[in-house]
Amino acid sequence: MFRGRNLLDYSLPMTTRQDHAAASTPSAASPAAASQPSADQLATKAQAWSALFSEPMSELVKRYTSSVFFDKRLWQADIAGSLAHAEMLAAQGIISSQDLHDINRGMGQIAQEIESGQFEWKLDLEDVHLNIEARLTQLVGDAGKRLHTGRSRNDQVATDVRLWLRDEIDHITALLRALQLALVEVAEHNVDVILPGFTHLQVAQPVSFAHHLLAYVEMFARDEARMHDVRKRVNLLPLGSAALAGTTYPLDRERVARHLRMDGVCQNSLDAVSDRDFAIEFTAAASLCMVHVSRLSEELIIWMSQNFGFIRIADRFTTGSSIMPQKKNPDVPELARGKTGRVVGHLMGLITLMKGQPLAYNKDNQEDKEPLFDTVDTLKDTLRIFAEMVGGQINPHTGCKEGGITVNAAAMRAAAQKGYATATDLADYLVKKGLPFRDAHETVAHAVKAAQSHACDLSELPLAVLQGFHPAIEKDVYEVLSLRGSLGARNTLGGTAPVQVRAQLARQRARLA
């Protein structure tokens, strides 16, 4: 089986077609293996420009310009694009049906060799495209040489990267949904848990812990939407633009796009081969997603610290200290926070890569792949481990799900009571009694100062003391000053009242179903 998307998802049945141009386009019969050039001979001939040059490329330059050892991950996309291109060439009468049959047969063998680890990647062949083409020619002879008719490596590589990235976006979207579901599951069990909400890292107002987690669900939902949007611009076909100006062959580019399940073709050949906006746009979306992961990481790190003690992260996601036996370190969130800078750095690198390039293709663009590949790998790994860390996993021995995060509701509630989190509620209470808000704000400030001097919460001040700040205050104020009353009072759309939080959870469940 092929890794990732099966090649059959891209390619066509390996059937022959009537040769519409047999008279003008001779077909190469499949030659015997003994008559085929050796791999070393093909490596020498693979440089299509070699006849123009009087000396071979230096070994240093070969190593400096080669990309095969990182772009070989594009092999499935390269074979898929080639199969679709070959089918179109045969349909247009540019190559024969026998050529198409031989190309399909050869590509099938190459795919098996790569999948099994038997394929030999050669530095002399520079990149994934020439390695595959050289092996194809070795296997099927002239049919392999005809495959490159009507295309250039410029439009070929652009197509390969787009096909590969499209499928990676699909994987990332699925991982984003898994993380959102994990957050929703934890939130569903903690609607009534009260957490101090912060501004400036100062206790501000009480919120439901579920409400807090749903804020991250909203962030990751936007990330998912951005990935869907980016995919539309990724999924366009450059193939057929050739080197920069199009080709003299009667290609049917729309046919190739349909077979590759692409949404359309790039409309300008110069732009098609030189555009890397799609890679930059994806990396920008990935950077923003990692920023959201980093913000969540920061909170998990703070909440786990002894000074807060709001949560415990399962041991399998933490490490100890080599010198301090009491330590349990939140390495996963910390490393994710650090990897965010790595991904944002790749975005800056890609933008800088493109900023000074004239049209059309330039060798600079070889430098787009490593940052793009690393961005995809980093984001996928991070989302996968966070979904498991937040939502837990099934214990293979017990069959029960073990959560990755344990909530300390008592610690959260105690922290909320320390910071006069219901002060705004007292101000709102006075406004409803007829005071202008600014006057109510000033009155409550005096009440908070009194509570601070007595080292108690506002709700612990005697009614007589509270009435000393304003005579309109009555006994019902204590319900207003309670943490539970504060939560319940914020019963507006998007608010933290439990009834609103449960409605939002239902909405998210329906969206993610």
Q: Please, is 452 exposed, middle or buried when counting C-beta atoms within 10 Å of its C-beta (0-12, 13-18, 19+)?
A: exposed
Identify whether 292 is a catalytic site residue: no
Helices (H) and strands (E) in the chain, counts: 21, 8
Q: Please, is 147 exposed, middle or buried when counting C-beta atoms within 10 Å of its C-beta (0-12, 13-18, 19+)?
A: buried
Amino acid at site 277: D
Residues near 284 by Cβ (< 8 Å), separated by ≥ 6?
347
In the set 200, 322, 397, 453, the catalytic residue is 200
As a whole number of angstroms, the distance between CA 488 and CA 83 comes to 62
Whether the CB-CB separation of 242 and 150 falls below 8 Å is answered with yes
| Nearest Cα residue to 47 out of 101, 127, 117 | 127
As a whole number of angstroms, the distance between CA 272 and CA 176 comes to 30
Residues near 112 by Cβ (< 8 Å), separated by ≥ 6?
none
In the set 189, 305, 321, 454, the catalytic residue is 321
> What six digits make up the tokens of 103?
């190309």
Length of the chain: 513
Identify whether 85 is a catalytic site residue: no
Helix (H, G, I), strand (E, B) or coil at 244: coil
As a whole number of angstroms, the distance between CA 472 and CA 406 comes to 43
CA 96, 101, 105, 111 dihedral sign is positive
As a whole number of angstroms, the distance between CA 447 and CA 481 comes to 12
Gyration radius from the chain CA atoms? 31
Using CA atoms of 237, 221, 291, 317 in order, give the dihedral in degrees to the nearest 10: -110
Query: Could you say which DSSP state residue 496 is in?
Result: -
Instruction: Name 202's bridge partners.
Output: 199
As a whole number of angstroms, the distance between CA 279 and CA 209 comes to 37
Q: Which residues are the active-site residues? A: 200, 321
